[in-house]
């Protein structure tokens, strides 16, 4: 359903798509599937870069909550018979430390308008409507651009050929897999840091149910599925980078967090190996063996004759 009050956002997304497509069209065929695939991938990356500060805020808030986990457990044990008092003290603890339990929703909320805008723009292209500032030439180009024989505006149920359904079905399967891996990466980390979390069972259920939501994308255009796969892959890499830079906190007997050294990245490992090779003591040179060769005597000395 198209929301008229979001027309400004649809127009903005269509404008960005137009500019990115024009850039790639300078070196590639503007009507090719490759050009349009790169356009969608670039749009996704630009959007994820813009909301990167929200991701950092989410992760820092999550890390603070994990550091407060022992104190939260104390509060739960102390007020296990008074849930209202327990929740009040837990929220007060989070607020005092600057942790936001709802911080994890920020990147999802920020992505949702872009997702709706992409869906609306692609639906307009499928309907052959030059809307939101798009030219008819651009609409025709996108409508006839194919990825492995499947067209960008097509859905699984609307594709006329079996081969096109197979291509879209493969993208849906990749979308489901990347969704599962993204949720699993986050849930595994959370459960490792808070093994006695009362929400652990619900998190496990969410981890295994989340891939099923990807199959709703059978009703989405192929271009939108490509957008979702790209954002999942970006999230996987982004979370891996953050988790490697911020290892799980350790706690002492009093429940205080102990600083943990971050794992070195690939570049740091290469630099460390180069430095260790340079700083390693060089082995002393092997002593040069000099063999004593007998001196060659003159002929007169060998024969015993004297010079005249």
Instruction: Dump pLDDT digits (tens) for 147-184.
Output: 999 999 888 988 889 999 999 999 999 998 998 898 88
First to last CA, the chain: 126
Tokens standing for residue 193: 């840091």
Round to whole Å and give the CA distance between 250 and 245: 15
Instruction: Dump pLDDT digits (tens) for 79-100.
Output: 777 778 888 888 888 777 767 6
| Model confidence band, residue 290 (pLDDT cutoffs 50, 70, 90) | low
Instruction: Dump pLDDT digits (tens) for 189-236.
Output: 776 666 555 566 776 777 788 777 777 888 888 998 999 899 999 999
Q: What pLDDT shows up at residue 301?
A: 53
47 in Cβ contact with 9 (< 8 Å) = no
Rg of the chain's alpha carbons, rounded to an integer? Answer: 32
42 in Cβ contact with 48 (< 8 Å) = no
Nearest to 176 by CA among 222, 218, 223, 214: 214
| Tokens 């870069």, residue located | 49
Q: What pLDDT shows up at residue 308?
A: 46
Compute CA distances 54 → 12, 57, 246, whole Å: 21, 5, 17
User: Once rounded to an integer, what is the mean pLDDT over residues 244-254?
Assistant: 66
Contacting residues for 33 by C-beta, under 8 A, at least 6 apart: 145, 146, 147, 148, 152
Round to whole Å and give the CA distance between 198 and 53: 29
Instruction: Dump pLDDT digits (tens) for 27-59.
Output: 999 999 999 999 999 999 998 898 888 888 877
| Model confidence band, residue 287 (pLDDT cutoffs 50, 70, 90) | low
Helices 52-67 and 83-97 pack at an angle, to 10 degrees, of 120
Question: Under DSSP, is residue 211 helix (H, G, I), strand (E, B) or coil?
Answer: helix
Round to whole Å and give the CA distance between 100 and 243: 19
pLDDT at 24 over 60: yes
């Amino acid at each position: 359903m198209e929301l008229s009050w979001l027309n400004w956002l649809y127009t903005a997304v269509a404008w960005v798509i137009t500019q990115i497509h024009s850039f790639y069209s300078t070196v590639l065929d503007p009507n090719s599937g490759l050009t349009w695939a790169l356009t969608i991938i670039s749009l996704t990356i630009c959007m994820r870069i813009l909301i990167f500060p929200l991701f950092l805020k989410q992760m820092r808030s999550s890390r603070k909550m994990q550091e407060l986990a022992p104190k939260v457990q104390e509060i739960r044990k102390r007020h296990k018979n008074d849930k209202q008092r327990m929740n009040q003290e837990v929220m007060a603890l989070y607020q005092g430390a600057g942790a936001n339990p709802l911080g994890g929703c920020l990147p999802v909320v920020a992505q949702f308008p872009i997702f709706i805008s992409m869906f609306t723009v692609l639906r307009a292209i499928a309907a052959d409507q030059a809307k939101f500032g798009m030219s008819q030439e651009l609409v025709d180009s996108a409508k006839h651009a194919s990825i492995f024989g499947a067209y960008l505006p097509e859905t699984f149920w609307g594709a006329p050929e079996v081969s096109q359904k197979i291509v879209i079905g493969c993208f849906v399967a990749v979308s489901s897999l990347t969704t599962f891996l993204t949720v699993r990466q986050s849930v595994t980390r959370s459960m490792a840091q808070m093994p006695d979390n009362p929400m652990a069972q619900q998190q496990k259920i969410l981890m295994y149910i989340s891939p099923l939501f990807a199959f709703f994308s059978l009703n989405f255009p192929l271009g939108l599925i490509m957008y979702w796969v790209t954002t999942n892959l970006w999230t996987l890499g982004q979370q891996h980078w953050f988790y490697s830079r911020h290892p799980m906190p350790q706690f002492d007997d009093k429940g205080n967090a102990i600083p943990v050294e971050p794992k070195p990245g690939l570049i740091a490992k290469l630099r460390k190996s180069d430095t260790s090779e340079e700083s390693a003591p060089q082995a002393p040179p092997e002593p040069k063996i000099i063999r004593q060769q007998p001196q060659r005597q003159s002929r007169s000395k060998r024969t015993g004759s004297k010079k005249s």
